[in-house]
C-alpha cells in the first residue's frame, strides 16, 4: 500500500494539471471575441467556479420578464381577474368594491419583483446587473452601438445586405476586453459627473429655493 501512495499522488497531480489546463482553455475560449456569443457563454459555464461570471442586461422586454408569482393585475385587467388574484392570495375585499378599490388592494399587497433571468442566472452561478432605465448616457452598450453604426457607415460602399452583415461581424470580432472596458470607464466618468452635479444642486441651489407654501405665505403678507 505504501508503494502505491506515490503513484496515486502522481495520478491525482496529473488529473489536476489536465483539468486545470482544460478549464483554462475553456476560459480563454469564453473571452475570445471571434467565438459566437452562445459558445462563449457555454465555455464560461464549463470553465468551473474559479472565474465569476456576470451579465450586464439592458432594459429589453425579454430581459425583464417577471416570474409568474411576481405578475400583478393592471388597470387593463378585467375586474374578475383582479378579484381572482386577491382570492388566490387570501386577501379579503368587499364584493361591492369597484375596480379602483381592488387595484389599491393589489398595490398594498403586491409581491417584490422577481425576474426570470435572475432565477436562471442564480441557477448557473451568474450574477445579473441591470442598466438604469431611460439613461442612455449611462448604458455602455449605447457606445458600442454608436461605434458599430459609425464603422458600417464609413466602410459600407456597396449598400448590399450581405456586405453590411459582414461589416457588423468584423466589428464584433474586433471587440476585445480593452475596448469593452473603455466603454464602462467612460460611463463611470459620466456617472461621477452626475453625482457632482447633484451635490452642487443640493448644496448651492436647493437651499435657496422656496417651497410653494412659503411663497403663498409671503404673498398673503
How confident is the model over 57-99, as pLDDT tens digits? 877 888 889 999 999 999 999 999 999 999 999 999 999 999 9
- The residues spanned by each domain of the chain are 1-51, 134-207
Q: What are phi and psi of 97, to 5 degrees?
A: -60, 135
What pLDDT, on a 0 to 100 scale, did the predictor assign at position 3? Answer: 44
* pLDDT bucket at 18, cuts 50 / 70 / 90: very low
Q: Percent helix, strand and coil across the chain, each rounded to 5?
A: 65, 5, 30
Q: Please enumerate in sequence order all residues whose Cβ is within 8 A of that of 171, keeping only pairs 6 or more positions apart, or say none.
A: 147, 148, 151, 152
Least confident of 21-30, 67-76, 190-199: 21-30
Burial category of 151 from C-beta neighbours within 10 Å (exposed 0-12, middle 13-18, buried 19 and up): middle
Contact 99, 79 (CB under 8 A): yes
Cell numbers describing residue 188: 463611470
The pLDDT tens digits of the residues spanning 126-173 come to: 888 888 777 888 888 888 999 999 999 999 999 899 999 999 999 988
Amino acid at each position: 500500500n505504501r508503494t502505491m501512495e506515490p503513484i496515486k499522488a502522481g495520478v491525482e497531480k496529473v488529473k489536476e494539471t489536465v483539468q486545470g489546463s482544460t478549464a483554462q482553455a475553456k476560459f480563454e475560449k469564453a473571452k475570445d471575441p471571434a467565438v459566437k456569443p452562445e459558445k462563449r457563454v457555454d465555455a464560461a459555464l464549463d470553465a468551473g467556479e474559479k472565474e465569476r461570471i456576470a451579465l450586464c442586461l439592458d432594459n429589453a422586454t425579454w430581459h425583464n420578464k417577471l416570474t409568474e408569482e411576481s405578475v400583478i393585475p393592471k388597470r387593463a385587467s378585467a375586474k374578475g381577474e383582479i378579484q381572482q388574484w386577491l382570492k388566490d392570495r387570501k386577501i379579503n375585499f368587499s364584493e361591492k368594491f369597484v375596480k379602483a378599490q381592488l387595484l389599491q388592494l393589489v398595490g398594498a399587497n403586491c409581491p417584490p419583483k422577481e425576474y426570470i433571468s435572475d432565477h436562471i442566472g442564480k441557477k448557473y452561478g451568474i450574477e445579473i446587473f441591470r442598466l438604469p432605465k431611460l439613461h442612455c448616457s449611462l448604458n455602455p452598450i449605447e457606445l458600442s452601438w454608436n461605434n458599430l453604426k459609425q464603422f458600417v457607415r464609413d466602410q459600407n460602399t456597396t449598400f448590399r445586405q450581405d456586405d453590411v452583415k459582414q461589416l457588423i461581424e468584423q466589428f464584433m470580432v474586433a471587440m476585445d476586453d480593452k475596448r469593452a472596458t473603455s466603454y464602462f470607464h467612460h460611463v463611470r466618468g459620466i456617472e461621477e459627473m452626475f453625482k457632482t452635479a447633484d451635490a452642487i444642486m443640493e448644496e448651492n441651489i436647493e437651499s435657496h429655493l422656496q417651497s410653494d407654501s412659503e411663497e403663498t405665505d409671503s404673498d398673503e403678507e
